[in-house]
Amino acid sequence: MNITVVGHLCLDVIHHIDRTETTGYGGIFFSVATLANLLPAEDTITPVFGVGKDDYDAFIERLQRYPNVVTDSIFRFQGPTNQVHLYYQDAIERIECSKHISEPIPLKKIRSHLDTDMILVNMISGLDITLETLDEIRMDVREHHTPIYMDVHSLTLGIKDDFTRFHRSVELWRRWLFMIHAAQMNEEEAAILTPEQLDETALAKHTLALNTKVLHITRGEHGCTTFIDEHKHLHRYDIGGVDIAGTVDPTGCGDVFAAAYCAHYMKTNDIFSSAQFANKIGAVKASMSGSGNIDQLASFRLLKEQRSKVVS
C-alpha cells in the first residue's frame, strides 16, 4: 500500500517552560516519520514538499533510515527552510513564530503521486497548498474513491508583522472540508474555524453534510472526539485520554495523530479503531521532546494485514 503526504517541513526551535530549548525537524517530518515507523516495510510513504537548498542533503540523509520512504518526490528550493520558534507558556499554550514560510507546494509536484491508497494533507503552515490545488486533488482521485485526510492545523493561523501567529476564522472553510474522508482539528481550531462560531456539534453536522465522513477534534491529554456520518446520522464517540508517564512536550502530537490514523485506517478501513489507535500514539509522542525520539514509535508497528470491524 502507498500513502502520499503533503505539507511543509519546519525546522523547530522549542522553548520549554523551564527555559530549555529543543531543536530538530518538525512540521510534516512528524507525520512522515510516524508513518515510516508504523507501516510495514512493504508499504511506501511518498512525501511531497520542498526543502531549502542548504538543508536538503542533511534532511534526505536523515530519511535514509526509513526504507519505506520515497524521497524522490522531495524537491529543493532556493532560500531557507521555514524555521518555527515555539514558546510554551504552560504545558499546552504556546506562542508560535514562523519565518521563511515556504511557497505553496505546486500541483505539478503533487499530481504525479495521486495514484495512491490514501492522501494525507497536513496544513503545517496553513499555506502548504492553495484551495485550488486541493480542489484539483479531489477531482483527480474522485473516481478511485481515494480517501483524503486533512489536518486543518495552521489553516486557522494568520501572521503578524513580527511573524507571530494568531488564530482567526476561515471564510471558505466549507470548501476546504468538502468531500474528503476526514478532517482533523484541535479544540481551539474548532472553536475559531467558522466565522459563525459554530459549536462542535453544529460544526460536525455542517462538515459531515459536505460529503465528508469523519471529523476528529483532538483534546490533548483529554483524548479526542470523533464524529462519524453513519447512514446520514451523526454519531459522536468520545475517546478518553491515555495516561502516559513523563509527558514532556505536546509539539507534533496532532501531526502524529493524523499519521497514526491514516496508517491504521489503510489497514482496517475502520474509523473508530483507527481513532483509538491515533489517540494512543499521539499520547505516546507527548512523552518525547521534539522529534528526536520519534523512531521509538516503531514498537507500535502495524501488521501487514490487520483486520477489525469496519465502521463506515
- End-to-end alpha-carbon separation of the chain, Å? 20
| CATH number for position 142 | 3.40.1190.20
Angle between helices 253-268 and 271-285 (to 10 degrees): 150
Residue 144: give the domain boundaries. 2-294
Contact 292, 33 (CB under 8 A): no
Q: Which residue did the predictor score with more confidence, 306 or 172?
A: 172
Calculate mean pLDDT across residues 108-117. Answer: 98
* Residue 36 maps to a domain: yes
Contact 157, 96 (CB under 8 A): yes
Calculate mean pLDDT across residues 108-118. Answer: 98
Contact 226, 272 (CB under 8 A): yes
Average pLDDT, the chain: 92
Q: Is the pLDDT of residue 84 over 90?
A: no
* Residue 305 maps to a domain: no
* Residue 302 maps to a domain: no
* Residue 303 maps to a domain: no
Q: Is the pLDDT of residue 246 over 70?
A: no
Residues contacting 23, CB < 8 A, separation 6+: 11, 12, 13, 14, 290
Q: Is the pLDDT of residue 310 over 60?
A: no
* Residue 312 maps to a domain: no
The whole-model pTM stands at 0.92
User: What's residue 17's pLDDT?
Assistant: 80
Q: Which three cell numbers stand for residue 311?
A: 465502521
Domain count, the chain: 1
Q: Is the pLDDT of residue 273 over 90?
A: yes
Q: Which three cell numbers stand for residue 261?
A: 490514523
Percent over 70 (pLDDT), the chain: 96
Closest CA to 30 of 52, 8, 13, 56: 8
Query: In angstroms, rounded to a whole number, what is the distance separating the alpha carbons of residues 23 and 43?
Result: 30
* Residue 282 maps to a domain: yes
* Residue 265 maps to a domain: yes
Query: In angstroms, rounded to a whole number, what is the distance separating the alpha carbons of residues 246 and 129?
Result: 36
* Residue 221 maps to a domain: yes
Residue 14, H or E segment? strand 9-15
- pLDDT grade for 98, boundaries at 50, 70 and 90: confident
* Other residues' Cβ atoms within 10 Å of the Cβ of residue 103: 11
Q: Is the pLDDT of residue 188 over 80?
A: yes
Instruction: Write down the residue that cell numbers 540523509 correspond to.
Output: 61
